[in-house]
Amino acid sequence: MALDVTIRIGGRAGQGMQSIGLILGKIFTRQGYYVFIHQDVEARIRGGHSFVQIRIKDEPVYVHSDKVDLLIALDKGSMDQDQPDLAPDDIMIFDVQEMGFTSDNPARLPVPMEQLAMEAGKNKIMANSVATGAALALLGVDLQPLLDRLDEEFSAKGPEIVEKNRNCVSSGYRYIQRHFKGYFPKKIPPAPFKKEKLLLTGSQAMVLGAVCSGLKFYSGYPMSPSTPIMEFVASLGAERGIIVEPAEDEIAAINMVLGASFAGVRAMTATSGGGFCLMVEGLGLAGMTETPAVIVVAQRAGPSTGLPTRTEQADLDFVIHASHGEFPRAVLAPGHAEQAFYTMAKAFNLADRFQSPVIVLGDQHLNDSYFTVDHLDLGRMTIDRGSIIPEEEMASPLEYKRYAWDESGISPRILPGQGKAVLYADSDEHNEAGHITESAMVRKAMVVKRLRKVEGLRREMDPPEVCAEPDADLLLLGWGSTYGALGEAANILTRSGLKTEVWHFCDLFPFPDADLLAQLPEKTQIISVENNSTGQFARLFSGQGGIPIDHQIFKFDGRPFSPRDIVTRVYRAL
Amino acid sequence: MVTLDDYYSDDPVAWCPGCGNHSILKALKQALVDLDRPPHEILIVSGIGQASKTPHYLRCNTFNGLHGRTLPVATGIKLANHELTVLAEGGDADGYTEGGNHFIHAIRRNMDITYLVHNNQVHGLTKGQTSPTSDLGYVSKTTPMGSLSPPLNPLLLAVSCDCTFVARGFSGEPEHLAGLISEGIQHRGFSFIDILQPCVSFNKTNTFQWYKQRIYDIKDDPSYDPRDRMLAFERAQEWDEKIPIGVIYRTDRPALDEKQPVIRDMALVKQKIDQASFEGIFESFR
Cα–Cα dist A159/A324, whole Å: 58
Whole-angstrom Cα distance, residue B13 to residue B33?
20
Lowest mean pLDDT of A85-94, A222-231, B58-67, name the range. Answer: A85-94
Q: Mean per-residue pLDDT for A375-382?
A: 95
CA distance A229 to A449: 34
CA distance A545 to A1: 41
Gyration radius of chain B's alpha carbons: 20
- pLDDT at position A102 over 90: no
- Residues of B in Cβ contact (< 8 Å) with A436: 11, 14, 53, 56, 64
Q: How close is the nearest chain A Cα to the Cα of B75, in Å?
A: 6
> What's residue A408's pLDDT?
96
Asked whether residue A173 carries a pLDDT value surpassing 80, the answer given is: yes
A259:B268 CB<8 A: no
Per-residue confidence of chain B (286 residues) as pLDDT tens digits? 999 999 999 999 999 999 999 999 999 999 999 999 999 999 999 999 999 999 999 999 999 999 999 999 999 999 999 999 999 999 999 999 999 999 999 999 999 999 999 999 999 888 889 999 999 999 999 999 999 999 999 999 999 999 999 999 999 999 999 999 999 999 999 999 999 999 999 988 889 999 999 999 999 999 999 999 999 999 999 999 999 999 999 999 999 999 999 999 999 999 998 888 898 999 999 9
Residue A36 has pLDDT above 70, yes or no: yes
Contact B164, B156 (CB under 8 A): no
Pairwise CB contact (< 8 Å): B281 & A212? yes
CA atoms of B47 and B162, how far apart (whole Å): 24
pLDDT value, residue B279:
87
Q: Which of A239, A243, A415, A429 to mutate to test the interface with B (most CBs of B within 10 A)?
A: A243
Nearest to A265 among B80, B83, B281 (CB): B80
The residue type at B257:
D
Phi, psi of A516 (to 5 degrees): -65, -25
- How far apart, in whole angstroms, are the C-alpha atoms of residue A299 and residue A35? 23
Residue A39 has pLDDT above 70, yes or no: yes
Cβ-based burial of B188 (10 A; exposed 0-12, middle 13-18, buried ≥19)? middle
Does A241 contact B271 at a Cβ distance shorter than 8 Å?
yes
What pLDDT is stored for residue A500 in this prediction?
97
Count residue pairs from A and B with Cβ separation < 8 A.
192
Using DSSP's 3-state secondary structure scheme, residue A197 falls into: coil
Asked if A152 and A166 touch (Cβ cutoff 8 Å), the reply is: no
Tell me if residue A224 falls in helix, strand or coil: coil
Query: What's the ipTM?
Result: 0.98
For the beta sheet containing A198-201, the strands, ordered from the edge strand earlier in sequence to the opposite edge, are: A108-111, A91-95, A70-73, A4-13, A47-57, A34-40, A370-373, A198-201
**Strand A500-505's sheet: what is its strand order?**
A465-467, A500-505, A474-479, A525-530, A551-554
Secondary structure E strands in A100-256: 108-111, 198-201, 215-220, 243-246
Q: What's the gap in Å between the CA of A31 and the closest CA on chain B?
A: 11
Per the DSSP assignment, residues forming a β-bridge with A299 are A363
- Residue A243 to residue B55, Cβ atoms within 8 A: no
CB A1 within 8 A of CB A12: no
* C-alpha count within 13 angstroms, C-beta hemisphere, residue A88: 1
Q: Which residues of A touch B57 (CB under 8 A)?
A: none
Q: Are A349 and A384 in contact (CB under 8 A)?
A: yes
Residues A24 and A149: their CA atoms lie apart, in Å, by 9
Q: What is the pLDDT of residues B197-229, one digit of tens each?
A: 999 999 888 899 999 999 999 999 999 999 999
Parallel/antiparallel/unpaired status of strands A266-271 and A215-220: parallel
Between CA B162 and CA B30, with CA B223 as vertex, the angle to 5 degrees is 65
Min Cα–Cα distance to chain B from A454, Å: 23
Nearest to B84 among A214, A219, A417 (CB): A417
Phi and psi of A517, rounded to 5°?
Answer: -70, -20
Amino acid identity at A425:
A
User: Does residue A179 surpass a pLDDT of 90?
Assistant: yes
Position A393 confidence tier, pLDDT thresholds 50, 70, 90: confident
* pLDDT at residue A1 tops 70: no
Q: Closest Cα to residue A89, out of A175, A185, A4, A1?
A: A185
Q: B192: closest CA among B88, B72, B58, B279?
A: B88
For residues A30-48, give the mean pLDDT. Answer: 92
Question: Which residue from B205, B245, B274 is spatially nearest to A378, judged by alpha carbons?
Answer: B274
- Give the phi and the psi of residue A220 in degrees, each rounded to 5: -165, 175
**Other CB atoms closer than 10 Å to residue A99's CB: what's the count?**
15
What's the average model confidence in pLDDT over A46-61?
94
The β-bridge partners of A430 are A436
Tens digits of residue pLDDT in A451-497 = 999 999 999 999 999 998 999 999 999 999 999 999 999 999 999 99
- Are the beta carbons of B27 and B181 closer than 8 angstroms? yes
pTM for this predicted structure: 0.97
- How far apart CA A326 and CA A205 sit, in angstroms, is 32
Helix, strand counts (H, E) of chain B: 9, 10
Residue of chain A whose alpha carbon sits nearest to that of B283:
A198
Asked whether the predicted pLDDT for residue A155 surpasses 90, the reply is: no
Which residue from B237, B249, B243, B68 is spatially nearest to B153, judged by alpha carbons? B237
